Amino acid sequence: MKNFQDKVKKLVPEMRRVNQIHFVGIGGAGMSGIAEVLLNEGYQISGSDIADGAVTQRLAKAGAKIFFGHQGENVTGASVVVISSAITDDNPEVVAAKNAKIPVIQRAQMLSEIMRFRHGIAIAGTHGKTTTTAIISMIYTEAGLDPTFVNGGLVKSAGKNAHLGASRYLIAEADESDASFLHLQPMVSVVTNIEPDHMDTYGGDFEKMKDTYIRFLRNLPFYGLAVMCADDPVVMEIAPKVGRQVLSYGFSEFADYRIEDYQQTGFQGHYTVVCPTGERIEVLLNVPGKHNALNATAALAVAKEEGIDNQAILAALAEFQGAGRRFDQLGSFIRPNGKVMLVDDYGHHPTEVDVTIKAARQGWDNKRVVMVFQPHRYSRTRDLFDDFVQVLSQVDALVMLDVYAAGEAPIVGADSKALCRSIRNLGKVDPILVSDTSQLGEVLDQIIQDGDLILAQGAGNVSKLSRDLAESWRQ
């Protein structure tokens, strides 16, 4: 490890006067990835979180000092304290750090420092950025380039969401939820799509969100490259305002990297990409859905423009196992009423839920789709209420869990009862509200039929519930 760290330090200068870096909320997906990279670079890492888990255990095993609960004394000895947007100013560790005149910075500021001396590739967008980041990381790894990557979700082929590579490449998911992606200074930026989400950050003003994406893309150097989705009208609206080289991708006939003849067989996609040169590349993608074909084509476009050969690109796409919690097949199970498949998916925005349902129907032809949906945040449920009603009405059976608050206070008319009522009034599906999650397995056994695909959908603890359910069904 020492020789490897010395090699990296020759490539990337150390941050001056920084020895110990403390992360408040170190168990979070974005925070843990940055912490892991810095730990492997040789910095002393400490961090706190509310409870123990697989991520904190992995970091502790690698040498990080982990505290459970937030206490002011946890920041003792820290050179800098890193926080996510979920951490408030009254957090005891933030208060203690400021009193001790220890710098307190956002997660993206630290990511920017990691990127400063590397060839950065940043992936932004409302949907698809985690998967696209994972695919680009796998392509570069397949090409033997040993990139550093920091992702918001598990890169299944690597078994982790972050990796310190020995090359100059850094591939990172860029977070628009708190506009912190403005700190990043990449060489290549990808924008997958832009839809209203996290609108509290932007004062409820979608125009402000669009302007923020333009500012993000203008962080590229004049010789940088923006890879943007031609199928998204908002992305194409801002493209002429970027002032940098733009290459587009998508199903649109105007896309520079154009997808043709998409077909799905089971849970694999087959299609052709027509490149700007006229070259036609036949792709086998090992994950389902047109949305994943878009993610993969964004990655293909980046790789082609960066000079990676087709063999590495196609091998990575054919072997891609997906990103964590993205159409994650937990297994097939024999239940009293027949055999079912259980799938866990992170999608929590109506657009994400919609494409997941479509992918499931294409791969699970002539079978029922049963969804266990957990709304994420009252504010998102309020802002996108009508869209949720329409999208969730597409499934054959719907089990609704209570809203996962993520620290928010309840909002009248934006809870699961209100969603169920409106979905029921639409008359396509009769949702079942399950407030006591210990009853989830029993409720499902009452409604599932032979051949059903069960989608556990959402960004809260529905993933843990589905995995606990899978474990109990294996016994």
CA 475 to the chain's CA centroid: 31
Mean pLDDT over 331-347 rounds to 95
Comparing CA positions, the residue from 220, 196, 26, 193 lying closest to residue 107 is: 26
- Using the predicted structure, report yes or no on whether residue 472 has a pLDDT greater than 60: yes
Torsion over CA of 183, 229, 301 and 115, rounded to 10 degrees?
Answer: 10
Identify whether residues 21 and 137 lie together within a single domain. no
Predicted local distance difference test score (pLDDT) of residue 154: 80
367 and 301 inside one domain = no
pLDDT over 60 at 9, yes or no:
no
pLDDT surpassing 80 at residue 274:
yes
pLDDT band for position 434 (cuts 50, 70, 90): very high
- Catalytic residue positions, numbered: 129-130, 173
In a domain, residue 8? The reply is: no
Pair 187, 222 in one domain: yes
Residue with tokens 């999608």: 347
- Is residue 8's pLDDT more than 60? no
Is residue 125 domain-resident?
Answer: yes
Percent above pLDDT 70 for the chain:
97
Same-domain status, 161 and 284: yes
What is the average pLDDT value for the chain, to the nearest integer? 94
Same domain, 36 and 160: no
CATH of the domain at 301: 3.40.1190.10
pLDDT band at 290; cut points 50, 70, 90: very high
Segment 374-388 shows an average pLDDT of: 96
Point out the domain boundary residue: 297, 319, 341: 319
Please give the pLDDT value at position 322: 82
pLDDT greater at residue 195 or residue 362: 195
For residue 298, is it within any domain? yes
* Residues 305 and 333 placed together within one structural domain of the fold: no
Q: Same domain, yes or no, for 121 and 86?
A: no
From residue 168, alpha-carbon distances to 143, 147, 161, 229, 298 in Å are 14, 7, 18, 26, 21
Residues 287 and 310 reside in one and the same domain: yes
**Percentage of the chain modeled with pLDDT above 90:** 84
- Give 156 or 387, the one with higher predicted confidence: 387
Please indicate, yes or no, if residue 234 is contained in any of the structural domains: yes
Mean pLDDT check: name the lowest of 219-233, 320-334, 382-396: 320-334
Inside any domain, residue 1: no
Question: What digits encode the pLDDT tens for the residues 94-129?
Answer: 999 999 999 999 999 999 999 988 999 999 999 999
User: What's the rounded mean pLDDT across residues 145-157?
Assistant: 90
**Inside any domain, residue 286:** yes
Which three-class secondary structure state does DSSP give residue 452? Answer: coil
Looking at the structure of the chain, the number of domains it has is: 3
Q: How far apart are CA 32 and CA 18, in angstroms?
A: 18
Instruction: Answer yes or no: is 291 a known binding residue.
Output: no
Look up the CATH number of the domain holding residue 424.
Answer: 3.90.190.20
**pLDDT class of 338 with cuts at 50, 70, 90:** very high
Which structural domain range is residue 365 located in? 328-474
E strand or H helix at 454: strand 453-457
**Residues 59-102: pLDDT tens digits?**
999 999 999 999 999 999 999 999 988 899 999 999 999 999 99
Which of 45, 77, 106 finishes a domain? 106
pLDDT of residue 153: 84
Q: How many CA atoms lie within 13 A of 124 on its CB side?
A: 33
168 shares a domain with 264: yes
| 128 assigned binding-site residue | yes
User: How far apart are the C-alpha atoms of 160 and 149, rounded to whole Å?
Assistant: 10
C-alpha distance from residue 57 to each of 26, 66, 68, 267 (Å): 11, 9, 12, 33
* pLDDT-wise least confident of 197-211, 304-318, 320-334, 340-354: 320-334
269 annotated ligand-binding residue: no
pLDDT value at 41 more than 60: yes
Within 8 A by CB and 6+ apart from 309, the residues are 143
Average pLDDT value for residue range 340-347: 94
Same domain, 134 and 85: no
Structural domain includes residue 188: yes
DSSP H helices in 284-439? 290-305, 310-319, 350-363, 378-383, 385-392, 416-426
Residue linked to tokens 């992936």: 123
Which residue bears the tokens 């309020």?
382
pLDDT of 419 reads 98
Q: Based on the domain organization, do 183 and 84 belong to the same domain? A: no
Please tell me whether residues 292 and 342 are part of one structural domain. no
Binding site annotation covers 126?
yes
Adjacent-strand bridge partners of 44 = 20
How many angstroms separate the CA atoms of 465 and 470, rounded? 9
Contact present, 38 and 112 (Cβ < 8 Å): no
At 25, which CATH number?
3.40.50.720
pLDDT for 385 beyond 90 = yes
- Confirm or deny that 131 is annotated as ligand binding: yes
Overall average pLDDT of the 415-424 stretch: 98
Structural domain ending residue among the three candidates 52, 86, 106 = 106
Question: 233 in a domain, yes or no?
Answer: yes
